[in-house]
Amino acid sequence: MQKNLVAVLVFLLTFCSQNISAQDDLMDIFGDEPQGTEYAYGTFKTTRVVLNHSIQSPAPGDLLFIISHHFGHLNEGPYNLFGLDMATIRFGLEYGITNRLSLGIGRGTYKKIFDGHVKYKILQQSSGERNMPFSISYFGSAGINTLKWQDLNRTNYFTSRLTYVHQFLIARKFNNWLSLQLTPTIVHRNLVATTTDQNSVYVMGAGGRLKLSQRVSLNAEYFYLLPGKTADDFDNSLSIGLDIETGGHVFQLFFTNSNPISEHGFITETKGNWLNGDIYFGFNITRTFTLK
């Protein structure tokens, strides 16, 4: 897996270098900002496209408190109030360390997973003296399943609880109204149910934002499981929703076929089918606190 990640990173950096003028090599990108360079900001409204992370990160010194909530699926009918009687929840914190680096932690009810992540901005879209056609960030996350062991008579290892997610977030803001993002992803599970299941799953994600007004946008994202045992057993995650900004809060209201909330779950363990009515209504509420 590590060799694959290195290969992908080398490819991306090589590709990027071909789009930069001769005087702007990769070392210069991380140096002082040249005069006459305009950077793209606000590619997405918040740190999520819908369920998955966007290219956006908290500003340095900003702490984000995020409440994520999925109800049950709509086809449960009136007895469960079309899913509103059910709930899957995650609480999370994200903090901006620098303009490039942010950290986050969270805990969700799905498999009682505690997770932590790091997001680092490799390149930022810009025009003018320094021309970069898109932004790239690396996202890495580790999750710990804290459910009780199902079989206490066998030897259970702590490492069996761990799942890892690696992503490159590649985004471009085309104008003030349209932003798109590609998200090549690797999900690695230390322990899987059977010997035929995949420990490492390769996925390609895509998402976008269409701005409808100054405070409202239409967002969508899709994750395609590359052929393998996981793709045979589970469905691809598809989510569509609205972002609504109200001062210090951003509300994201959406419909999805994924019950899990964290990347460790919804990317590789989605069981809902849109055509069968396995659609979950959910929301994210993001509150920003400026600590410095």
The answer to whether position 6 is within a domain reads no
Is 60 within the bounds of a domain? yes
Domain of 150 in residue numbering reads as: 39-290
Residue 140 lies in a domain: yes
Q: What is the pLDDT along the chain (292 residues), one digit of tens a residue?
A: 444 444 444 444 444 444 433 334 433 444 455 567 888 888 999 999 999 999 999 999 999 999 999 998 888 878 888 778 788 999 999 999 999 999 999 999 999 999 999 999 999 999 888 889 999 999 999 999 999 888 888 888 889 899 999 999 999 999 999 999 999 999 999 988 888 889 999 999 999 999 999 899 999 999 999 999 999 999 999 999 999 988 778 899 999 999 999 999 999 999 989 988 899 999 999 999 998 8
Residue 159 to residues 58, 91, 230, 267, Cα–Cα distance (Å): 31, 24, 21, 21
Whether residue 31 is contained in a domain is answered as no
Do the domain assignments include residue 213?
yes
Which candidate, 185, 208, 135, places its Cα nearest to that of 8? 185
27 located within any domain: no
Report the number of distinct structural domains present in the chain.
1
Has residue 7 been placed in a domain?
no
- Asked if residue 17 belongs to a domain, the reply is no
Predicted confidence at residue 33, as pLDDT, reads 53
pLDDT of residue 17: 40
**pLDDT (0 to 100) of residue 32:** 52
We report the CATH number of the domain holding residue 260 as: 2.40.160.40
pTM: 0.84
Contacts of 189 (CB under 8 A, 6+ apart): 163, 198, 199, 200, 201, 268
* DSSP letters spanning 92-129: EEEEE-SSSEEEEEEEESGGGEEEEEEEEEEE--EEES
